[in-house]
Structures are given as structure tokens and as C-alpha cells.
Amino acid sequence: MLISPLMGLMVLLLLKEEQKFLIRAVSLVAAGISLGLAIFVFVAYDKSLGGLQFVEKYEMVKTFGIAYHVGVEGLNAPMLLLTGIVIFTGVLTMWELETRTKEFFIWILALVTGVFGVFMSYDMFMFFLFYEIAVVPMYILILVWGSTRKEYAAMKLTLYLMAGSGFIIPGILMLYAASGLNTFNMLALHGVHFSPWVQKAAFLLLFLGFGVLAAVWPFHTWSPVGHVAAPTAVSMLHAGVLMKLGSFAVLRVAMYLCPEGFHYWAQLMALLATVGIVYGVFVGLAQTDLKYVIGYSSVSHMGIVCLGLATGTVDGLNGSVFQMFAHGIMTALFFSSVGYIYDRTHTRDIHELGGFSKIMPVASAFFITAALCGAGVPGMASFWAELLVFIATVKVFPINGLLAIAALVVGALFALRVVQTTFFNTPNPKFEHFEDVSPFLGLPRMMLIATLVFFGIFPQTMVGMIKTAVIPFLQGM
């Protein structure tokens, strides 16, 4: 799975800028393969067995105990699936890209390689390495193919995340040093019982570091700006997958390795998460740029994820991971539909748009679906996730839980406001002539919706998978 994007990347390097179709085809194939593998893994994973499967291991630096050690379990299988879907649809979405196509797909694939790596690695060193690989191409992607205020956004985003890594490195190394095992292998480190101080410090560092990428309040400001600036597929990947890296890392590294630290800081996590949820929707209410709106909704939804993590209960973690997945797909859908409209109209100001259901019913149908999903309407994947998270939260942190639930009203208002102003009312004559989504371009969106609805109707397929990992995970803590 790691290899397929790399292969595609290599092939792309050889191709000429002129052969646009070939380039796209190759990257599509690469993405397709990884998607296929992801699905395969998801299906072939033996739930009854549980634990780590499809393990590959290879010593890299014996002196420092660094090893390439990947595997699949209930936690990352959904993430892999998510990544596969999003990259595949993302490539399809960017089919129309004309400028510097080759470089674009090269960087995209590089990014995806990193993402897969992070999700699968069980070696902190490789984990961090892939993490950075996933983060850095963002800068170039936004800067070259981005839109509004891209220089500022790209620089801000990159520096923000790098500052995050500035916290992560000491955190990781602290654990490495404190263990005295001279290994970066998480499974091995998990066995070690670190002193409370180390755990607290390391957890805080890691949480802050990764939290930046998870857009935990108040480290979220990069995300709306970044989303706005980034080109469609990048926004999809970024909001859909990259932000999950953050939360996933908090789960996989921080919570996994320093449970005591987690219990010590859980209150803080929950607090920040709640603030993020409420804050996100309220700020989103005031936005007029479609992508800003979505950006802030992501802030709010990622808040839900963190809240779920903070509870540290089976339900909470199930919900949280499920929410990562659902939100990933949902946001991808959001951005892809917005991207489509933006490519046509070259505006994202919701007051300028309007009546789009008349002009391009399909495109707006996509957006509306996403919006409803964001508002937590049942029958969509995210509903279940939020249900689980909230129930778990009310049990552990009643106040935060109730606040978060209350935020749902505003969330609904928030989503509907956008839908109404953008897609209902009388159409703006300026855009009347635009044609609707072609079936081919509609395909990726359809895939996304299908995923949302499928897991909305059969949540057990997902939760069952996640549970296999979560329960031992919590017992380990």
C-alpha cells in the first residue's frame, strides 16, 4: 500500500509535463491501487482475531533501534480506507487541472505516501518521519495551485505545523530516552512504565504538537486559512485526512504510550475540545466564504473527535475514530463540491452565490448532503459517531457533553444558513449559464456520498472493526 503511491510518483517523474492525460491516468491508477489495497485490508482484516495483522518489519538503524515496522489493526484500518477513498476521489476531482500537472500529482502522491506511512507505522521514528512527509508537501501544493492569500496561508500553515513538530520531537525523544530500551518501537515502549513526570510532560508535548494538526482550539487558526487557500483536492486531503493524522497520532502515540499522562490531562483535552466545538460553530456562523465556513465546521468536528478521545471510554474512542472517518469523507465531499462551484463561478462568497439548486442541482445536492451530514442528520455516518461520542462524554464530563450537544442546534442553523443562502432563493443571473456536474466528475462525489450513507446505515461494519482495537487498547492503559 505504501509502495503504490511511490510507484506512481516514480513513473510520474519520468513523464513529460505535456502528457497530461497519461500523468492523470498514472496517478489515478496509483490511487486506485492504494484504494483497492485499503479496501482489501479493511475486508480481509480478521475481526475475530483482532490485534495487529499484515505486519511487515525491517531493521533500519540498529544503533538507535529504528525499524520500519508497519501493521494494520482496528484503529488504522478505517483511516487507511478513508485515505484510499479520499485520494482516489481527490485525483478524480482534480482531473481538470491544467497548470503544472505533473508536479501537482507528484506532490499529492508524496503526501499520500506519508499519510499511509503514519497510519501504519509502529515505530515512533518512522511515524514522525512519515508525519513530516505528509505535512510538508502541503506548502508547495498550496503555494503553487492555491487561491486567495496563498503565500500567507501556506507559510502560516507550514510554520504552525512545524512548530507543532518542534514539540513532538522532544516528546518522542523523551519517551525514547526515558525507556532506556534504545528502541523506537511503540509496542515495546508500551510495555515500559514511565515515571508520572515523564508521562505528563511527554503527553502534554505530544498533545500540543499533534493537536496543532488536529486543529485543537486555540491552535486552529491555520486550518480555515489553509483550507481557503488550498486547491480543491488538497483541501480534501488536508481537511479529510491530514487533520486526522493529528488526532490519530494523539491516540496512537500520546495516549498509547503515556496513559497516566493522558488521565492527568484528560480534563484539559475535554475542555479545549468543547471550546473548539462551540467556538467553531459560532465563528462559522459569521463567515461568508464557503470554504471558511467549512473550515470552521471542521474545527468544530475535530473538537468532537478530541472530546471522544478525552473520555477514554470504549464508546468515546469508537465514536472518535468513527468520527475521524466520517468527517474525513464528509469534508472531502464538502470541498469537492465547493471546488466544483468555485472553478465555475470563481467566487465563494455565499451572498454572491444563490439559487444553485436551480442552476446545478446535482452539484448542490452533493453540497446539501454534506451539510446535512455535518448537521448530524441520521442515516449519515457522522451521526453515529457523534451519538457515541456524546453519550460517552456526558457520562465522563457531563458539563462538556451537554454544552457540546447544545452546540448541535447552532450547528444545524450554521449548516442550513449556508445551504439556504447558497443554493436556495432566486438564482444569481450571472451564473445561470453554467452547466451541471458531468457524470464523470460527479462520480467521485457519488462515491463519497455512497460511503457516508453506507456506513450511516450499517454502522456496525465500522464500529465492529474499531472495537477490535479499542477494547484491548483501553485494557492496555
Partner 1 sequence: MNVMLFGPELYYLGAALVFFFLTLKRKPEPKADYQIAMALGLGGLLVTGLCLCQHGELFFKAYRVDLFSQIFKFALALGFFLVLTICHNLPQIAERDQAEFYLFLTTTTIGMMLLVSSVELLTIYVALELSSYSLYILVPLRRGDGIDVEAGIKYLLIGAVSSGVMLFGLSYLFGATGSTYLADILPKLPQLASSPIGLLGLLLALAGFFFKLSVFPFHFWAPDVYQGAANQVTTFIATASKAAAVALLLRLAILGAGYGYSFTKALVILSIISMTLGNLVAIIQRDFKRLLAYSSIAHAGYFLIGILTLKEAGYIAAIYYALAYLVMNFTVFMVINEVAKDGRDLKIQELAGLWRRSPLLSLSLIVGLFALAGVPPSIGFTGKLLLFTSAMSQGYFWLVLIGAVNGTISLYYYLRVIYCSYFTDDPNLGPITISTPIRFLNYALIAIVLGFGVFPDRIVELAKAAVKTVL
Partner 2 sequence: MGSCDPIFLSCFLIVALPLLSFAVIMIFTWRRHKLSLSISLTCSTIPLILAWSLFYKLHNAVTLAKPIITQVNWLVSDAVIVPFGFLLDPVSLLMLCIVATIAWLIQIYSIGYMEGDPGFARFYADLSLFGMSMLSLVSASGMLQLFISWELVGLASYLLIGFWYEKFSASEAGKKAFVVTRFGDIGFFMGLVFLTFFMKDLNIPGLGIFDINGAALTHKLSEAQVTLCALLIFCGVAGKSAQFPIHVWLPDAMEGPTPVSALLHSATMVAAGIYLITRLFPLFAASATAMSVVLVISTITLLLSSTIGMVAKDIKQVWAYSTVSQLGFMAMGLSAAALGGSTLFAGYYHLTTHAAFKALLFLCAGVFIHHFGTNDFFVMSKDGGRKLMIPMVTVTIGALALAGIFPFAGFFSKEAIMAQLWHLPNKLWVGLGLFGAFLTAYYTFRVIFVMLFPRKDDNPVWKEYYVREPGGHGHGAHDDDHDGHNGNHGVPWVMAFPLIVLAAFACVLGFMQTGLEKFLLGESHPHEMNYLLLVLAVGSALSGIGLAWLDWGSPAAKWQGFIRKVPVLENFFIQKWYMDHFWRWFLNTVIYGTFSRIFTYNDRRVVDGGVDAVAFSTIGSGRLLSFLQTAFVQLNLLFMVLVLAGVGLYLLMGR
Residues forming the site for partner 2 (CB under 8 A): 156, 159-160, 218, 220-221, 279, 282-283, 285-287, 313-315, 318-319, 355, 357-358, 361, 365, 372, 375, 377-379, 383-384, 387-388, 390-392, 394-395, 401-402, 405-406, 408-410, 412-413, 416-417, 420, 423-427, 459-460, 463-464, 467, 471
Name the binder of 286 from partner 1, partner 2, none, CB < 5-8 A by kind: partner 2
Name the binder of 187 from partner 1, partner 2, none, CB < 5-8 A by kind: none
Query: What is the distance in angstroms between the CA of the first residue and the CA of the last residue of the chain?
Result: 30
Main-chain dihedrals φ then ψ at residue 148, nearest 5 degrees: -65, 130
What is the closest distance, in whole angstroms, from the C-beta atom of residue 456 to partner 2 in the complex?
A: 10
* All residues at 6 or more sequence positions from 259 whose CB lies less than 8 Å from its CB, including other chains: 199, 476, 477
* CB nearer to partner 2: pick between 29 and 471: 471
Name the binder of 169 from partner 2, partner 1, none, CB < 5-8 A by kind: partner 1
* CB nearer to partner 2: pick between 48 and 426: 426
* CB nearer to partner 1: pick between 139 and 217: 139
Helix (H, G, I), strand (E, B) or coil at 348: coil
Q: Do 397 and 470 form a contact (C-beta atoms < 8 A)?
A: no
Q: How far apart are CA 103 and CA 445, in angstroms?
A: 24
What is the closest distance, in whole angstroms, from the C-beta atom of residue 31 to partner 1 in the complex?
A: 21
What is the closest distance, in whole angstroms, from the C-beta atom of residue 412 to partner 2 in the complex?
A: 4
What is the closest distance, in whole angstroms, from the C-beta atom of residue 250 to partner 2 in the complex?
A: 20
Name the binder of 60 from partner 2, partner 1, none, CB < 5-8 A by kind: partner 1
C-alpha cell at 107: 506532490
Name the binder of 11 from partner 2, partner 1, none, CB < 5-8 A by kind: none
Q: How far apart are CA 112 and CA 119, in angstroms?
A: 11
What is the closest distance, in whole angstroms, from the C-beta atom of residue 213 to partner 2 in the complex?
A: 15
Name the binder of 460 from partner 2, partner 1, none, CB < 5-8 A by kind: partner 2
Name the binder of 170 from partner 2, partner 1, none, CB < 5-8 A by kind: partner 1
* All residues at 6 or more sequence positions from 213 whose CB lies less than 8 Å from its CB, including other chains: 135, 161, 164, 242, 243, 245, 246, 249
Helix (H, G, I), strand (E, B) or coil at 18: coil
List residues near partner 1 by CB under 8 A: 59-64, 103, 125, 128-130, 132-133, 136, 139-140, 143-144, 151, 155, 158-159, 162-163, 165-167, 169-170, 173-174, 176-177
Name the binder of 423 from partner 2, partner 1, none, CB < 5-8 A by kind: partner 2
What is the closest distance, in whole angstroms, from the C-beta atom of residue 146 to partner 1 in the complex?
A: 10
Q: Do 362 and 437 form a contact (C-beta atoms < 8 A)?
A: yes
The distance between the two most distant Cα atoms of the chain, rounded to a whole number of Å, is 69
What is the closest distance, in whole angstroms, from the C-beta atom of residue 110 to partner 1 in the complex?
A: 10
Q: Tell me the H-state helices in 136-258.
A: 137-145, 150-179, 186-191, 196-213, 222-229, 232-237, 243-249, 256-257
Q: Per residue in 207-225, is it b (16+ CB within 10 Å) or e — as a string?
A: bbbbbbbbbbbebbebbbb
Name the binder of 167 from partner 2, partner 1, none, CB < 5-8 A by kind: partner 1
**Beta partners for 57?**
69
* CB nearer to partner 2: pick between 128 and 356: 356
* CB nearer to partner 2: pick between 29 and 163: 163
What is the closest distance, in whole angstroms, from the C-beta atom of residue 117 to partner 1 in the complex?
A: 10
What is the closest distance, in whole angstroms, from the C-beta atom of residue 260 to partner 2 in the complex?
A: 22
Residue among 379, 98, 383, 34 nearest 241 (CA): 34
* All residues at 6 or more sequence positions from 283 whose CB lies less than 8 Å from its CB, including other chains: 296, 299
* CB-count burial class (<10 Å; 0-12, 13-18, 19+) for 392: buried
Q: How far apart are CA 124 and CA 29, in angstroms?
A: 30
Name the binder of 463 from partner 1, partner 2, none, CB < 5-8 A by kind: partner 2
C-alpha cell at 24: 492523470
CA atoms 320, 300, 84, 57: torsion sign? negative
What is the closest distance, in whole angstroms, from the C-beta atom of residue 252 to partner 2 in the complex?
A: 20
* CB nearer to partner 2: pick between 471 and 477: 471
